[in-house]
Amino acid sequence: MTDDITLRLDRATAEDLYVALYESGEHIAAGAAIHEPSTDEVKRLGKLLQDLGHRLGRTCSPYCDQLI
């Protein structure tokens, strides 16, 4: 039995994730600036983080009922 998880991303969320990881890496490695995300980016990445957390068995808030 595998312990893998699967997330399906739309293109906009995948692009946001790529940029967030790339900028984080450059920031850690060389102090590069991280751009301020747009409202839409924040919404997409917030939803991705919530979905990923649920798949990992984490609750996203004290009121989360996604793990039942």
What residue ranges bind Zn ion (CB under 5 A)? 60, 64, 66
The closest residue (CB) to Zn ion is 64
> Which DSSP string do the residues of 5-26 spell out, in sequence order?
------HHHHHHHHHHHHHHHH
The structure tokens listed for 4 are 């893998």
Cβ-based nearer residue to Zn ion, 19 or 49: 49
Minimum separation from the CB atom of position 53 to Zn ion (A): 7
What is d(CA 32, CA 45) in angstroms, rounded to the nearest whole number?
20
Minimum separation from the CB atom of position 4 to Zn ion (A): 20
Minimum separation from the CB atom of position 66 to Zn ion (A): 4
